[in-house]
Amino acid sequence: MFRKLACSMLLLTSAAAFAQALPSRPITLIVPNPPGGVVDTAARVVGQSLGQVLKHTVVVDNRPGGSGNIAYQMVARSAPDGATLLVSYSAYHTANPALFPQLPWDPIKDFTPVALLVAATNVVAVHPSLPVSTLAELIAYLKKNPGKVNYASQGNGSLSHIGTELFKQQTGTDMVHVPYKGSGQAIADVLAGQVQVFITTPPSVMQHVQSGKLKALAIAGKSRHPMMPTIPTTAEAGLPDFMLEAWVALFAPAGTPPALVEQLSNGVKLALETPEAKKQAAAQGVEVRYLNPAALGGLVNKELGYWRTVIKKANITLD
């Protein structure tokens, strides 16, 4: 009896500490992208379930613009009380420091890692007007028609921009970059055939590939995509070195108390384990993938160096 009572008291104490650690006002997830696309998808996948797990109001606030810098600066300057969190896009978090000589935020000093949310490989998709059916045929066509094909990106400095420049570098091809403000505008022009190539994450193109409005030539990951099982990987298609994966993670402003960060991270872990979150993520073509604060911090450090090297080698600028 005493043992049961002690366990009950411990659970009550833990629950009370959990509740006390949360901010008194709603938790706002700041998204640096417009609605649609992998970043907004991740925010909404975790947001609803996180609110249920924490028994706390969680809202999503899209703040696009400035290659993500508007949202990042906003969160960096927010009170470190857990009420304002950043839903961070990997390309912004690890590439912007190499793209902007005077960045108004620092990826390490201004943010505290909370949890990795989802990861998404990239799809090499083309408009049906291009006379190609395989990745090898696309590469051959681009070599025969240098500078005559346009490719879309979600904006200067986005992963679709940097990733496609990496693709050009590895294949010795040339395409014209057409940047957009988010996936929604980009996919509209790709579907219309005004832009012919889009290397992007599954949420932007998956339904259009399945309906036949776009052709997917390869998955830039280690394995085939479960929602597009007939599409080969880049390795299977003859380009093994071209691997491109985006991730989305949650960060708090620097100075957020470690106990609060841990509570939020544990809440995210439980939220991502719910059947609703997994089902919603799978339907959108992204993979739920939790990492704790320490592991996420290690990932950021590793990719900061990697993308700086890629950007410098490809001579990518925002001019």
Q: pLDDT tens digit string along 191-212?
A: 999 999 999 988 889 899 999 9
CB-CB contact of 246 with 299 (8 Å): no
Q: pLDDT tens digit string along 223-264?
A: 899 889 999 999 999 999 999 998 999 999 999 999 999 999
Q: pLDDT tens digit string along 51-73?
A: 999 999 999 999 998 888 999 99
Q: What pLDDT is stored for residue 70 in this prediction? A: 96
Mean pLDDT, the chain, rounded, equals 90
Whether residue 10 has pLDDT greater than 80 = no
Whole-prediction pTM value?
Answer: 0.79
CB-CB contact of 41 with 182 (8 Å): no
Whole-angstrom distance, CA of residue 124 vs CA of residue 231 = 10
